[in-house]
Every structure is written in structure tokens, then in C-alpha cells.
Amino acid sequence: MMKIMDEVKGAKSIAVSGHVRPDGDCVGSVMGLYLYLKKEMPEAQVDAYLEKPAEIFGCIDHIEEIKSEVNTEQVYDVFIALDTAADRLGNAEPVYRRANKKINIDHHVSNRGCGDVSIVEPQRSSTAELLYDLMDPEKIDVQIAKAIYIGIIHDTGVLRYSNTSPRTLQIAAELVKFGFNFSEIIEETFFERTYLQTQIMGRAILESVRFMNDRCIVSMVSRRMMEFYRVTPKDLDGIVNHLQSVKGVDCSIFMYETGTLEYKVSMRSNGRVDVSAVALKFGGGGHVRAAGCTMNGTYHDNINNLSIEIAEQFKNE
Ligand code: 5GP
Ligand code: MN
């Protein structure tokens, strides 16, 4: 297996970035690699670009060094895109495309690879897990370990989703040996919610509707609701997972309004529906059991359009 240090050897400037609306795996991977490269290449300029991460990730060391403004002039020797293809790098995308060497590391089935070097392994639980195996274990320290651990637990639902493999657990075991307070990290970054986050989740669950013989469930949060509860999209993470835990549900859909007739859609499934294939039809992507896209149209039009694709899959059962 290739090692990340062989690919960046000699570089004087390196950038690391991940996808828009960064989740735990994205933030953990970017920070884990950023800290690793800074330590291993003290002479080089190393930058991490990302949309401002949610406050829960404040426990990751040096997270305040993440740059949200991109230096559009700079041509990096190496640019590493994590947990996504180039199209979701946000304002870092043009800088990525201009870099002398592009490296893409990801675990999304929907990613065909977009680098001079692309390592896309869909069987990996998380980009963070894959990154661990591209690093030299001897050179990992407690700060790097914590960042990678956060990436793994967020994408595996704390090591319980079916993407968790024996290798995932071995790596998690190696990481907790560093002695950080993993149970506090799990509680504070994964389970804990503010009162308002809990309220809007309650409302979304209360207003959910099942359809297709109760095999699907859907709910939505409008901009007005977000204003009423004084929450932002970051506060809506996790709602779709609660919908998916309803007994008998094969596929769940959650959407929130991002603009006039525009919704960000999150989907989950128990494996009976390939939600990555559904999301791909609408320009999104993801994994078989977790995917997303952005859709234009009314809430009900979007449900109808998604239903057609889901029904197509039920037909093939
Ligand atoms: P979530 O529903 O938690 O936002 O995302 C679930 C999975 O689908 C994640 O792996 C995420 O990266 C991916 N995903 C969500 N939205 C999009 C999208 O618009 N495009 C692509 N390509 N992937 C997405
Ligand atoms: Mn991921």
C-alpha cells in the first residue's frame, strides 16, 4: 500500500481540504492529515481549507488553524482532497485544480477519483480509517490520533454501522491506546445536543410521514422553522438517522430548505435501497446506506421524484 509521505516528498507547499458542510469524518480527516504533515514536514507550508467546522469539533487540537478563506493566487505543489471528489471542495476547488500534484483520498462509491493519484476505497468505513493506513503508525501522536478517531466514530455511528470492519476496530483500538478521553469525545461530539437542536429534531420526527407501505419515511424542516428555533443546518445533523431507526423502515429521507424551491436532501437505508444510486440521479452521491443531494422544486415534488427512483429499486427485489 502506498504511504502518504512518499507522495508528498519534496513538496514545499501542501494544502489539505474536504467537502462543503463538513461532517465528522471530513473534519477529523483534514485535521489528522494536516497535523501529520505539519509534524513530518516542518520546512513546508501546510494549509488546511474547510468551511468553518461545527463547535463540537473544538476538541480537536489546532482546529482554529483551519482557513475558510482560500488564497486563490497560490499554486500548491501538492493539494490533497479528502472525503470527496473535486466538485464538492467549495471555494477550494479552483485551487485544487491548479495544483501541481492532485491527490484524492476518499471512501465514497460515487467518487470515480479526481487526482493524479486517487485512492478511493469504498469498503472503508471512513476516509479517516483509510488515512490511518496511509500513515506511519510510529509517527502518529495523540493529537493526530484524536482527530482520526473522531472521523471514524462519526462515519460509523460509533462503530455500529455495517461499514465497521475488523480493521476499523483494530485501528480504533490502536488509537484509544493514546489515552485521550474517548468516552467524553463520543458523548460531546456525537450524542450531546443543545435544547434547541433537540426541540427541532422532536418537531421533525413528530411531523414525519411514512409512505410506500410504511417502508419509507420522510420529514422536512423549512427556513421558517429554522428561524423560529434559531438553528442553522449544522443543528439538523442526526435527524435522518432517527427516522431510519423506526422499525420497518427501509429508507428514510430528510430535507431542509436552503433557498426558494431548493432543498438539501439526506437519505439513509438499511441496505435494501441503494440511496447512493438515488442521490446520483439528482446530482448527489454518497454510500449505499447514506447519501445526499440538493434538489430543486417543492417539497412534495421532491418526494415524488425520489419515490419514483426508490420504487424502481423495490420493483427489482
Ligand atoms: P449526509 O446526509 O450526512 O449529509 O450525507 C450522507 C453521505 O452522503 C455522506 O457521505 C456525504 O458525504 C454524502 N453526500 C451528502 N450530500 C451529498 C451531495 O450533495 N453530493 C455528494 N456527492 N455526496 C453527498
Ligand atoms: Mn466520510
Cβ of residue 29 lying under 6 Å from some atom of ligand 1 = no
pLDDT single digits (tens) 36-58 = 999 999 999 999 999 999 999 99
- Tell me which residue of 216, 222, 212, 262 sits closest to 240, measured CA to CA: 216
Write the residue with the smallest CA distance to atom 7 of ligand 1: 291
For residue 141, give the 3-state DSSP assignment: coil
- Tell me how far apart the alpha carbons of residues 27 and 60 are, in angstroms, rounded to a whole number: 9
- SS3 call for 63: helix
Nearest bound ligand to the CA of residue 287? 1
Q: What does the pLDDT read at residue 72? A: 85
| Mutate which of 125, 266, 276, 295 for ligand 1 pocket (most atoms within 8 A of beta carbon) | 266
Residue 269's Cβ-count burial label (10 Å; 0-12, 13-18, 19+) is buried
Q: Are 89 and 58 in contact (CB under 8 A)?
A: no
157 C-alpha to center of ligand 2: Å? 11
For residue 155, give the ligand 1 atom closest to its CA. 10
> Of ligand 1's atoms, which has the minimum distance to the CA of residue 108?
10
Instruction: Give the ligand at the shortest distance from the Cα of 107.
Output: 2
Segments of the chain scoring below 50 in pLDDT: none
Rounded to 5 degrees, φ, ψ at 190 are: -110, -45
pLDDT tens, residue by residue, 208-239: 999 999 999 999 999 999 999 999 999 999 99
Which amino acid residue places its CA nearest to atom 2 of ligand 1?
266
